[in-house]
């Protein structure tokens, strides 16, 4: 079988996986996964452990070959959302950029005064599938042909991302952070459950937090070492954790999937934001998303780049990661 034919078969297998799960009544995970024959089946058994900041399995080179969607890559275990979270210690940093768009100005000092944990990877399809099984009415994201395997991140609306956070909190007997509905959704930052990062927490973590070395992208000045973007992604979202992590050991903060933050977006917010633990404007029309994605150019995957969308808009390449207070 030629390389081209093999690729076509691989694509069809991936589509078969999607057809077996998308839009159907939620079924137990093993049956959904095991229904797909062939070498592209990705087991959900959480072994071996996902790559770490010191793992030699992570290709840290600028010449890393994009991994075709559906390739057999060890999935990030569902449990890793909580077991592999990274502690981000308090500190101060310069938020924004003098060289970026106007909404990144002025550069200003921000103090993160409370330690927090942040998930090492973007939330994956496999992890989100568990939430869908447990949550009546929840649907898996639509497959848009850009990569929809268990270890890929996903397109999800902001409202579903916060529902996922509450679900994850309840799984561990923690107090959910979010209450209210629609645009009146509120976050209790004193709760011990999971939530989306604030925009400031996200940028602080992307820049390496208390371990920052001052890179332009999350972990390097060489975008190819740390990010999937339009220069290397082959127009496909990639399995999480395949690039070099940043100083904190966080993967894909630059590129791959956009990541929702909790804040309302304002293009003038930096001119008046509080110096300590800013949480965004009190109201707005769109929510912040950060980090750029596999379809963007290198400028958009810089740690300082800002963007936003309506909370109910299923932006095709917006995923998320979660945080939790550490004190």
φ, ψ of residue 307 to 5 degrees: the values are: -160, 175
Q: How far is the CB of 245 from Ca ion (least distance, A)?
A: 12
**Which residue's Cβ has the minimum distance to Ca ion?**
291
Work out the angle at residue 289's Cα, subtended by the Cα atoms of residues 74 and 262, and round it to the nearest 5 degrees: 100
Cα-based distances in Å from 197 to 149, 190, 320 = 25, 13, 9
Nearer to Ca ion, 15 or 64 (CB): 64
Q: Which is nearer to Ca ion, 96 or 319 (CB)?
A: 319
- By CB under 5 A, which span of 179-187, 197-205, 263-271, 288-296 interacts with Ca ion? 288-296
To the nearest whole angstrom, how small is the minimum distance from the Cβ of residue 195 to Ca ion? Answer: 18
Helix (H, G, I), strand (E, B) or coil at 299: helix
CB of 228 to Ca ion, least distance (A): 8
Smallest gap from Cβ 74 to Ca ion, in A, equals 19
Q: How far is the CB of 224 from Ca ion (least distance, A)?
A: 15
97 binds Ca ion (CB under 5 A): no
Q: Are strands 116-118 and 323-325 parallel, antiparallel or unpaired?
A: antiparallel
Minimum distance from residue 152 beta carbon to Ca ion (Å): 12
Number of residues engaging Ca ion in binding (CB under 5 A): 5
- Residue 182 CA to its chain's centroid (Å): 22
Residue nearer to Ca ion on the CB measure, 165 or 227: 227
Q: Could you say which residues in the range 247-286 bind Ca ion, by CB under 5 A?
A: 252, 256-257, 259
**Three-class DSSP category at 20:** helix
Answer for the pair 125, 153: CB distance below 8 angstroms, yes or no: yes
Q: Residue 259 Cβ, how far from Ca ion at the closest point, in Å?
A: 5
> From CA 298, how far away is CA 224, in angstroms rounded?
9
Contact range with Ca ion by CB under 5 A, out of 13-21, 131-139, 185-193, 287-295: 287-295
296 phi and psi angles, rounded to 5 deg: -90, 165
Binding window for Ca ion (CB under 5 A); candidates: 132-140, 169-177, 278-286, 290-298: 290-298
Say how far apart CA 19 and CA 15 lie, in whole Å: 6
Using an 8 Å Cβ cutoff, are 10 and 68 in contact? yes
Q: How far is CA 250 from the centre of its chain?
A: 10
SS3 of residue 116 by DSSP: strand
Where in 126-155 is the site for Ca ion (CB under 5 A)?
Answer: none
What is the smallest separation between the CB atom of 123 and Ca ion, expressed in angstroms?
10
**Nearest distance in Å: CB 252, Ca ion:** 4
Give the residue with the Cβ less far from Ca ion, 21 or 81: 81
Residue 291 interacts with Ca ion (CB under 5 A)?
yes
Contact yes or no for 218/226 (Cβ under 8 A): yes
Instruction: Measure CA 282 to chain center.
Output: 24
Closer to Ca ion by Cβ: residue 216 or 252: 252
Taking the least distance from each CB to Ca ion, the nearer of 321 and 324 is: 321
Nearest to 199 by CA among 297, 79, 112: 112
Please state, as a whole number, how many other Cβ atoms lie within 10 Å of the Cβ of residue 166: 21
The region of 60-68, 157-165, 226-234, 289-297 touching Ca ion under the rule CB under 5 A is 289-297
Q: With binding defined as CB under 5 A, does residue 242 bind Ca ion?
A: no
Residue 259 or 309 having the CB closest to Ca ion: 259
d(CA 179, CA 162): 9
Binding site for Ca ion (CB under 5 A): 252, 256-257, 259, 291
């Amino acid at each position: 079988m030629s390389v081209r034919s093999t690729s076509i078969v691989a694509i069809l297998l991936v589509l078969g996986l999607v057809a077996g799960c998308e839009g159907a009544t939620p079924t137990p995970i093993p049956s959904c996964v095991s229904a797909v024959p062939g070498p592209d089946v990705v087991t959900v058994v959480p072994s071996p452990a996902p790559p770490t900041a010191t793992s030699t399995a992570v290709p840290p080179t600028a010449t890393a070959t994009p991994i075709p969607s559906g390739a057999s890559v060890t999935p990030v275990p569902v449990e890793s959302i909580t077991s592999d979270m990274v502690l981000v210690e308090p500190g101060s940093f310069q938020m924004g950029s003098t060289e970026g768009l106007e909404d990144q100005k002025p550069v200003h000092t921000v103090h993160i005064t409370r330690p927090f944990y942040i998930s090492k990877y973007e939330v994956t399809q496999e992890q989100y599938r568990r939430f869908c099984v447990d949550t009546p009415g929840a649907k898996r994201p639509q497959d848009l042909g850009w990569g929809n395997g268990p270890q890929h991140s996903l397109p999800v609306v902001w409202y579903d991302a916060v529902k996922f956070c509450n679900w994850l909190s309840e799984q561990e007997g923690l107090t959910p952070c979010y209450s209210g509905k629609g645009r009146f959704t509120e976050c209790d930052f004193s709760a011990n459950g999971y939530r989306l990062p604030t925009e400031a927490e996200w940028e602080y973590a992307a820049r390496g937090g208390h371990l920052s070395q001052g890179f332009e992208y999350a972990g390097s000045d060489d975008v190819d070492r740390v990010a999937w973007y339009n220069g290397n992604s082959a127009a496909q979202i990639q399995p999480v954790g395949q690039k070099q992590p940043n100083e904190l050991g966080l993967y894909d903060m630059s590129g791959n999937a956009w990541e929702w933050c909790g804040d309302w977006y304002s293009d003038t917010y930096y001119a008046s934001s509080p110096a300590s633990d800013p949480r965004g404007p009190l109201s707005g029309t769109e929510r912040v998303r950060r980090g750029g994605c596999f379809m963007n150019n290198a400028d958009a995957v810089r740690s300082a780049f800002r963007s936003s969308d309506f909370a109910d808009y299923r932006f095709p390449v917006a995923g998320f990661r979660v945080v939790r207070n550490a004190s």
